[in-house]
Chain A
Amino acid sequence: MGSIIEGFRKAFFLILNLDPELLKIIFLSLKVSGFALVISTVIGLSLSTLLSFKKIPLQGIIISLMNTFMGLPPVVVGLFVYLILSRSGPLGFMGLLYTPSAMVTAQTILAFPIVASLCHSAIISVDPIIKQSSMTLGATPVQMTVTIMREARYGIMSGIIAALGRVMAEVGAILIVGGNIAGYTRVMTTTIALETDKGNFELALALGIILLTLSLIINIILYRIQRRGSVNG
């Protein structure tokens, strides 16, 4: 119990002191997760829109694959991206391994199936009457798509929030492709893993509490955006 109380105490002091090294780590965490989330949202939303409105070959298999990829083990993704970006791998010439970009790439692969899959189910569960009535009212295909997406926005937002949870909490993949280099690729989760390894349990727990608090703040903001959408819409 002592360690847990000490962890909360330490978290409080760390936040009060605004340690520059900690700020750098937090900022990088937000940057990597933020980039990964934006890219996953773009890819995931496009993919789910395509799957919902167009008949494409192998549709069923693609959807099943997407659902399976929601459960991709981060370590496997990390290893895969490592082998691709390694100097001995196909994209090695770019020198991307052990950079924040490599971390964004790994996290994007982990997060976009979540966005795609959840958005897809949100879009296809929109009442078919809406589609019919907008067609009757003379909507162009683009207008109709926009209307249906607006109806599905609550579910789409949930997909994005779920993906955010995944990228913020992820450690296995970014440890492999980022290397946890101090001041360069060290983020909140990898710092927590490192401090746990060093036996600094209270500090590790304190960092965990800060990470969770950050997640909470972001989620409150997203929830308000989600709510506002449903009231005005």
Chain B
Amino acid sequence: MRFLKLFFVLILVLAVVNGVALSAEKEILCASTTSTENSGLFGYILPMFEKNTGIKVKVVARGTGAAIEMGKRGDADVVFVHAKEQELKAVEEGLFVNRHDVMYNDFVIIGPPNDPARIKGIKTAIEAFRKIRKSGEQFVSRGDNSGTHTKELAIWKKAGIDPKGQKRYLEVGQGMEKTQRIANEKRAYTLTDRGTWLATKDNDKLEMAIVLEGDPVLFNQYGVMAVNPGKHKHVKYKEAMEFINWLISKEGQQAIASFKDKQGNRLFIPNAK
């Protein structure tokens, strides 16, 4: 018991010290995904927003599932993720408000360059998944409830296949970049977002190639929403809305459009309405 008391006193002291430091500036916490953070998008657009409004945006990058969960628990002020159905469901449950489409990129299927399952030439992702399954080639899945994982599961479902527990279906439970690397080592196929693929394939020396792209089902919509201040009184709703409104404004959309990776590829296409 003595230790517990000590522990609580300790936390109190730390809280006071922190409280003093925190009250000095305006800032919000944004729960987002690894793809937006690792691609460098936030590093590019957030300083512009900060300069405009004086609001500092602190980003915690997790999978989409975990990011939404953070918002639900009230541990973030704003959530910026890419799983539209999950987002709309959370809004319907009353946990978030003011959801907006912000931008999109697309998913691509990548695999070994010699394409042992013969996917190249196939038009739809559903057909490609069926063929990977039939060929007996390995498929690496994120397996982490992320936006990419959600998309992948939806395609398996549409293909009428339950991949879970299959020997040649590897659920790795890691971020996109690590998943790509595992697929590379295993000479397997995987579903990735174009942003991560373009940003990391050279650094990681991936011996892989895009085998399917352009299917409308692979459209990857990013959305932003504020944590409902009615559910969590402490959230900085006003500042969160300033951030959301900036993202969907002409200025914010232009900032997103002008972001390019080191090779000069445009990674996200703004599409706020």
Binding site for B on A (CB under 8 A): 39, 43, 47, 86-88, 91-101, 104-105, 108, 179-182, 184, 194, 197-201
Contacts and interface: CB of A to CB of B under 8 A. Distances in A.
Nearest to B74: A87
B18 interface: yes
Interface in B166-212: 175, 177-178, 181, 199-200, 203-204
A163 B3 CA distance: 18
A87 B73 contact: yes
B259 to A, nearest CB: 16
A100 B200 CA distance: 30
Contacts of B59: 181-182
A197 B34 contact: yes
Contacts, number: 81
B18 A99 contact: yes
Nearest to A184: B58
Interface stretch (B6-14, B81-89, B104-112): B6-14
Nearest to A83: B73
B140 to A, nearest CB: 16
B58 A101 contact: no
Contacts of B11: 91, 94, 96, 101, 105
Given A87-B74, A197-B34, A199-B177, A98 B29 contact: yes
11 contacts: A47-B3, A86-B75, A95-B15, A95-B18, A99-B18, A99-B22, A181-B58, A181-B60, A184-B58, A197-B34, A199-B181
Interface residues of B, number: 32
Interface of B: 3, 6, 10-12, 14-15, 17-19, 22, 29, 34, 38, 43, 58-61, 73-75, 175, 177-178, 181, 199-200, 203-204, 232, 234
B203 A101 contact: no
B61 A180 contact: yes
Given A184-B58, A197-B175, A199-B177, A39 B10 contact: yes
Nearest to B15: A94
B73 A95 contact: no
